[in-house]
Amino acid sequence: MVIDYYYYDFEDSEPRRVTSLKNTEPRQFEVDFGEDQYFVADGRGYASVVHYTATQFLSSKLGIITDPRLKLNKVVRAVNYSKNAVTVQTEDGSICHAKSAIVSVSLGVLQSNLIEFKPDLPPWKILALYEFDMTRFGKIFLKFPYKFWPTGPGTQYFLYAHERRGYYLIWKHFEEEYPGSNILMMIIITDDEARRIEQQTEAETEAEIMEVLRKMFGSHIPKPTDIFVAKWWSNRFFKVPSQSGASWSPTAPL
């Protein structure tokens, strides 16, 4: 089962029961870009890309964006639109007016109805939104006082065989990307396991993880000094980290 999980759930973020050979064999992104995979280890994170893009059209000083047009920490709850204007209302009651607007939230947020559109989105747009399946997956990162797992060629991933599909099966270390960091990531949890783990406490998750790691590496291993569980599905601003589907008509303008 673990090999099956690696080739399907791990690659597509979906179990085989809802995947189709039509969209997975061959995988279009491999056809377009090849099978090589790259990891961004820049300590500034992806935020630096957004920040650089923003400085191209927003006023900044000493690397800090000072343009008053940029509104942060605002939760959009309603969008009133017509052919000539758009009015956006936020959770704190603020109102912004514009000639047009670009909606860049995830499809999961759109499906959750966090944002009310007035008038309602046209039927073709709503149908297009629900052509996509919002996958459930997450990542868990753990930092240890020292590494106890093998490193070097051929050791990037560890597979743990368990009778339950998706139960902490795939692991990855970051010794190559961040030497000496002692960071180990249980790289992907999907489907029902992702939902279950998001709903329990980090202490419960850590206990389950340590039980698995002790079976893999022995009872002498240390406890983690830190743990981070990504809870994208339950976060109303994310709702989903990925999506599966073949149609991109939701991106068409109104």
* Fold: same for 2-30+137-229 and 72-133: no
Q: Would you place residue 128 in the very low, low, confident or very high pLDDT band (cuts 50, 70, 90)?
A: confident
CATH superfamily of 72-133: FAD/NAD(P)-binding domain (3.50.50.60)
Mean pLDDT of 226-237: 88
The answer as to CATH 3.90.660.10 being correct for domain 2-30+137-229 is yes
Q: What is the pLDDT of residues 64-113, one digit of tens each?
A: 899 998 999 999 999 999 999 999 999 999 999 999 999 988 888 988 88
Lowest mean pLDDT among 13-22, 57-66, 123-132: 13-22
CA distances for 1 relative to 5, 11, 124, 144, 217, angstroms: 6, 14, 40, 29, 21
Domain boundaries, the chain: 2-30+137-229, 72-133
Rg (CA), the chain: 22
How high is the pLDDT of residue 46? 84
237, 150 Cβ separation under 8 angstroms: no
Least confident piece of the model among 30-34, 144-148, 175-179, 200-204: 30-34
**Token pair belonging to 56:** 């191209």
Euclidean distance between CA atoms 31 and 26, whole angstroms: 7
Q: Which two tokens stand for residue 251?
A: 């991106």
